[in-house]
Amino acid sequence: MKRFTTIFNVKTLRYAVLSVALSSTTSSLAAVSQSPLSLTVGVPPNMLLTLDDSGSMRWGFAPDGLSSESATRRAKSSAYNPIYYNPNATYAAPVVFDTSGNEQQLATTFTQAWHNGFKTSVGSANLSGAGYRVAWDVPLTTIPGSTSYNYGDVSNYAQPTGTVSRLADNPSADFSATVSLSTLIATQANSPGGIQFTITPVLIGVLGCTAVASYPGIFSGLTADCSRTASGYTASLVRRPVPAYYYIYDPSRAGNCTTGNDNCYTLRFVGSNEQANFANWYSFYRNRALSTISAAALAFYNLSPSVRLSWQGLGRCTTFDGSDTTYCRNNAFKAYTPAHKGQLYAWLQNIAFDQSTYLPAAMKRAGEFYRTTVPWQVFPNATGTNTTQNTYACRASYHIMMTDGQWNEAASAPSNFRHDAASFTLPDGRAFTQRAPYYDSTPNTLADLAMHYWATDLNPNLSNSLPAYLPFKSGDTTADYWNPRNDPATWQHMTNFTMGLGLTQSLTQSNIPWGGSTFAGSGYAALEAGAAWPAAAANATDANVYDLWHAAINSRGEFFSVDSPEAMVQAFADILSRIADRKSSAARPAINSGQISSDESTTQTVSYQTSYASDDNWSGDVKRFEKRWNAQTSTIDTVEVWSAKTKVPAWSQRRIKIAAPTTASNNGLQDLTSANALLSQYAGTTLLAYLTRNPETGLVDNLAASRVDYLRGSRTGEGTTFRRRSGLLGDFYSSSPAVVSGARYLEQFSNRLEGNTAYTTFKTAIANRTPRIYVGGNAGMLHGFNALTGVEEFAFIPSAVFPKLHKLTGANYSHEFYVDGSPVVGDVYDSATRQWRTILVGTLKAGGKSIFALDVTTPGSEKLLWQFDENSIATANAAKMGYSYSQPTIARLHNGKWAVVFGNGYESAGNTNGKAALFILDAMQGTLLRSLEVQGSAGVANGLSTPKLADYNADGVADYAYAGDLQGNMWRFDLLRSGRSNTTPFTTADDGDSAVSEFKVGFGGSPLFRATADNAGTQRQAITSAPNLVAHPTGTGYLVVFGTGRFFDSDDKDGDKSMPQSVYGIWDKQTLGEIANNPSINRSSLQQQTVTDSVTATAGDGTTRQARIISNNTVRWQATTGSSAQPAQNGWYLNLSQTDGEMVVENMSQLGRTILFQSLTPNSDPCGDGASSWSYAINPFTGGRTSQRAFAYSASNSSLGTSIISAVRQDGEGGGTLSQNPDGGYQYCTGQECVTVYPDPSSIGRQSWRRVDRQD
């Protein structure tokens, strides 16, 4: 989905609406969905797992070239042999599942360390005594085939002779010592490693001896082998079991040290503090096979149960249908249910590692499986009905292939082979020809197979509806298409993620060295520039490792080269994370844009756009654009001036503020630091305490200080301890930006309002104020950017989001809302100091139940004025603050104060008592001046939405407020003093603190109107957007125009199709003073308009859109007399599509005599966007179609004989917004899609809370 919002700058239209358009609603407490409802649930992906089951997987070393170095020191150090124990790594005991899906935590101990942690029946070793031998090569000839996976099944632990090919000698330099033959009594000899041998000759003249060994603090009395030669005695533990040990690479031990020099290693026996870690390594990671099983077990522990999965080996398990229960268990392709998970884990624990490395054949099997019907069915190999309707065309398919060696046997070529040296047409019509970095001249490689199953439509019976994955965009669509970091394929295809274990040393070809990841370093740059791939072939060793890399690139995946168990664990996790990032199992990628126009120049239009990318780790950006009229081409040129995500200051330099104890020196703000986080609280708990929580476990850890740094922007720990971020700016979803530059009001008007010339002084003082853009974001803060440079100059974290800030750091972060509301800015008069100030009022929407205000008069000297939250009202049974969906309005009231006026929002504490409230807060102090409660139906949740304030006599003081609630009531609130008519212009003599007590709910506490889908009044229609006000054409009263619907709760995602939602125009006749009569308006007294035709409309440039035409029935504003006498009607209504769940949840715009609004239609199709939109243009006096063309489209095929259309299909959600181009034309935009709209020939009326003008 794409969103786009525009707000006129108040200097462009002096009486512009100050209630900024409320953006797309989101989830609420009833079913807390902290992800945008506009994103589809999506279609779970297909996934095939291929694990290497070759015999080399039993080896305890990597790479293969170490096979002859088993007796060396370096072979027992992770610095040289990365499979060996690394004291700096943490080895976790994996969890497994039985065949019923029940979880089983595996465990081992240092004194009883299982030879195979997955098969304890094999036996164990006491690693603290004489029980440890180094596992090395486990050839087939020494292990019976039936137990070939029992890696610890050895028979020579205590014998110095016999078959030792499975074990490695302990290094003789440290585990043996020699003394001269002249010694005839017991003597001691020390090895360089510190082992002490006591050697005792057997008898004089007899060639024999005995020996025992000890190591201070570790062991003593350990029997050693002893032999006598002509020159002396030798004691040895080289082929004896010993306490567990490892070597540390120490460059200081010798000159010119390298990791290949045995003299540069120091012996370490396992200490007590690392025994548990070593035992885990021994039982679960000490060779390639155990490492692979453990890494896969850890990675697939949390895989979504909706993902569809099967698995295979290279030579034993070679089907995906569950038929080979001997070698595959039941691997029938299906959803990852607990039982299916149990089958996967049963297979992992019983793989017979005894095959050759048949990688090409395994990849071909995977690709050919995806060419069958099974992987595209909604119920593959399971109970359920597979139909055309539920066989989804947008399902992504992945193949994860892990190996420890070079493939050694090619596969036969598939039919119509689309290899990377061929030329062919892709399923989307693009031509593929030999191009870097895909092409190579070697035939029938693994990369060729990968290209074939990417470039072939694996299910041509389905539409090409896969969402393209394009995270790397350059502005050149062709370059983006061929960038292997992107996957533009919309057809059904296979993407490969390949992993090589212990193969990095084979990626050292001088012209294309491995740079650490798929697209990093000079090696990839050379390939991209056209360097030739090494020629892969059966048993071509190093070239075949490059072929794994090549295969990933050809299929738009990634290659991971890992050498250690811990790196393999991370690689598996990264692969699953990459797949999740592509949103195949979550939502389609979405981009949200908000734009605010500014008139900083008379020669160009300046706009600021916000954006979010759900497919890029929920990153966001703010950009400045300038639209300039090009007189030579008679076109409008759009230029991007800056992008804020590229201009975020260094993390230690950012001015991120939190609340502080108020003093004259700190303005109520303090820097976000660990020390200050201990001083700032919310609900009695410090921010530092909130940040001690591990978001994955909920337990307290010691990472609070690191989390503070992370929130500030430190990248330390990203991708490991903390969540990986694509950028430091979080997503900007609902929040639209607000501009702060010069004075916002007319000088003479404002001076008259306060009875002095203070606004003149204020206007002069801020004339050259550096303009700023303020916008709320979901990285936890409100941001303030320099409007000229894009540099972030200020940020503020509201206290109400403290309790969930730690979630932003979670490695498995699931989206949350934080500061998601649109800030509102206004100039207010502070009567205490007799000065004007610019204040910003911010809301959180689904981020929390709070609203806050900042004094932003002087950039760099911001001040926290107040925070108002759910704890601010303690009175029992009173309406409380809910999620702050209501957009506030900053207004001058009849009590002489400037105030912030807003609805109490949704899901407040006790909200089911039916109450809602209009809150009126002192703008400078934040004190609650008045809560005007309304009473709905008890037992039904309620809350007040965004109000619209009205000033009917243009004196600058608000007279009324109109707002709807969740129960369908449209309320009027009278903000007048008793006995005062709103027709008399305000004077300062009318000010008085007592006036606020006289504010009340209009019409004696009854609503102006109750929106229901039926005349009986039983089907309530929620009102969640602000109403629009239009002067009535008769000159008496005003029309209150609004739509119904709700889209903020997770239960609202599919819309309510049990009844239609509607758009209303209700006549408020009683606006000449404080009138309390109940208007008693019901639906039956309204004129109905209907959608009468659906057509294809055409614009002047030939483009077409779906369009609608609505009726233009006359509204009877006056009663008729005579034999056919009819009563006057009280307004009109237009029902929206009930079948589609169509609704109006965004604010409207007005252009002349035309009302523009966006309807939203939820879309439950998992292959579609989460919502679609229609843009309407109607006559506000009738609710029917306009008398003139409003859109730049015309209908030529309407059965009604009119070319005037009333609505066009326009993608995007978040509210339609009106903008003006440099040429004076108008555009109505939803998402990033805009259509040209036309005002009527009459003057363009303007309205705000200050004034409602006549439109007739």
Q: In this model, does residue 589 exceed pLDDT 50?
A: no
Could you give the CA distance from residue 219 to residue 1169 in angstroms, rounded to a whole number? 67
What integer pLDDT is reported at residue 665 of this predicted model?
Answer: 67
- Taking only the tens place, the pLDDT of each residue in 1023-1063 is 999 999 999 999 888 899 999 999 988 788 888 899 999 99
Q: In this model, does residue 136 exceed pLDDT 80?
A: yes
Q: Which of 952, 797, 941 is nearest to 862 (CA)?
A: 797
pLDDT classification of 4: cutoffs 50, 70, 90: very low
pLDDT classification of 663: cutoffs 50, 70, 90: low
Q: Which two tokens stand for residue 620?
A: 């966001």
pLDDT classification of 637: cutoffs 50, 70, 90: confident
Q: Which two tokens stand for residue 849?
A: 């139940």
Tally the C-alpha atoms within 13 A of residue 726's C-alpha that lie toward its C-beta. 16
Could you give the CA distance from residue 717 to residue 719 in angstroms, rounded to a whole number? 6
Check residues 556 and 1228 and name the one with the higher pLDDT.
Answer: 556
What integer pLDDT is reported at residue 1245 of this predicted model?
Answer: 42
pLDDT classification of 142: cutoffs 50, 70, 90: very low
C-alpha dihedral over 326, 328, 334, 337, to 10 degrees?
90
- Taking only the tens place, the pLDDT of each residue in 475-487 is 788 999 999 999 9
Residue 356 backbone zone (phi > 0: left; psi -120 to 50: alpha; other: beta): beta
What contacts 1080, CB < 8 A, 6 or more positions away?
none
Q: Which two tokens stand for residue 1177?
A: 């243009």
Could you give the CA distance from residue 225 to residue 233 in angstroms, rounded to a whole number? 11
Strands 494-501 and 558-562: parallel
The stretch 856-881 carries a mean pLDDT of 92
Burial class (CB in 10 A: 0-12, 13-18, 19+), 413: middle
Helix (H, G, I), strand (E, B), or coil: what is residue 1003? helix
**Percent of the residues in the chain that have a pLDDT greater than 70, as a whole number:** 87
Q: In this model, does residue 156 exceed pLDDT 60?
A: no
Helix (H, G, I), strand (E, B), or coil: what is residue 496? strand
The stretch 668-691 carries a mean pLDDT of 94
pTM comes to 0.68
What integer pLDDT is reported at residue 528 of this predicted model?
Answer: 95
Q: Which of 592, 578, 840, 595 is nearest to 729 (CA)?
A: 592
Q: Which two tokens stand for residue 376?
A: 């595209």
Could you give the CA distance from residue 1066 to residue 1083 in angstroms, rounded to a whole number? 10
The answer to whether the CB of 1064 falls within 8 A of the CB of 1131 is yes
- For the chain, the structural domain boundaries read 2-38+727-778+815-1228, 46-52+287-337+353-581, 60-170+246-284, 172-237
**Percent of the residues in the chain that have a pLDDT greater than 90, as a whole number:** 59
> Phi first, then psi: what are they for 81, rounded to 5°?
-115, 95
The answer to whether the CB of 1128 falls within 8 A of the CB of 1053 is no
What integer pLDDT is reported at residue 1073 of this predicted model?
Answer: 63
What integer pLDDT is reported at residue 164 of this predicted model?
Answer: 42
Q: In this model, does residue 146 exceed pLDDT 90?
A: no
Pick from 276-280, 526-530, 980-984, 1019-1023: least confident: 980-984
Could you give the CA distance from residue 776 to residue 283 in angstroms, rounded to a whole number? 50
Could you give the CA distance from residue 1005 to residue 969 in angstroms, rounded to a whole number? 11
Q: In this model, does residue 27 exceed pLDDT 60?
A: no
Amino acid of residue 517: S
Which sign, positive or negative, has the C-alpha torsion 979, 984, 985, 990?
negative
The answer to whether the CB of 1193 falls within 8 A of the CB of 1235 is yes
Helix (H, G, I), strand (E, B), or coil: what is residue 621? strand
The answer to whether the CB of 505 falls within 8 A of the CB of 63 is yes
pLDDT classification of 704: cutoffs 50, 70, 90: very high
1161 sits in which H/E element: strand 1154-1162
Could you give the CA distance from residue 967 to residue 1023 in angstroms, rounded to a whole number? 7
Q: In this model, does residue 579 exceed pLDDT 90?
A: no
3-state secondary structure 135-165: ECCCCHHHCCHHHCCCCCCCCCCCCCCCCCC
What integer pLDDT is reported at residue 883 of this predicted model?
Answer: 93
The stretch 917-937 carries a mean pLDDT of 94
Find the DSSP H helices in 529-678: 542-554, 565-581, 674-677
pLDDT classification of 661: cutoffs 50, 70, 90: confident
Q: Which of 965, 927, 933 is nearest to 946 (CA)?
A: 965
Could you give the CA distance from residue 1235 to residue 1225 in angstroms, rounded to a whole number? 11
Burial class (CB in 10 A: 0-12, 13-18, 19+), 442: buried
What integer pLDDT is reported at residue 853 of this predicted model?
Answer: 98
Q: In this model, does residue 791 exceed pLDDT 60?
A: yes
What integer pLDDT is reported at residue 966 of this predicted model?
Answer: 94
pLDDT classification of 1: cutoffs 50, 70, 90: very low
Find the DSSP H helices in 251-313: 275-284, 288-299
pLDDT classification of 416: cutoffs 50, 70, 90: very high
CA distances for 1003 relative to 1072, 1075, 1079, 1081, angstroms: 13, 7, 7, 12
Average pLDDT score, the chain: 86
Q: In this model, does residue 440 exceed pLDDT 90?
A: yes
Question: Length of the chain in residues, anyone?
Answer: 1256
Burial class (CB in 10 A: 0-12, 13-18, 19+), 1049: buried
Could you give the CA distance from residue 1171 to residue 1159 in angstroms, rounded to a whole number? 10
Pick from 117-131, 862-876, 955-969: least confident: 117-131
Question: How far from the centroid of its chain's Cα atoms is residue 686's Cα?
Answer: 27
What integer pLDDT is reported at residue 1231 of this predicted model?
Answer: 62
- Taking only the tens place, the pLDDT of each residue in 1110-1125 is 999 999 999 998 888 8
C-alpha dihedral over 432, 434, 439, 444, to 10 degrees?
80
- The b/e string for 1085-1111 (b: 16+ C-beta within 10 A; e otherwise) is bbbebebbbebebbeeeeeebebbbbb
Could you give the CA distance from residue 852 to residue 1199 in angstroms, rounded to a whole number? 54
Q: Which two tokens stand for residue 927?
A: 């004190």
- Taking only the tens place, the pLDDT of each residue in 731-743 is 998 898 999 999 9
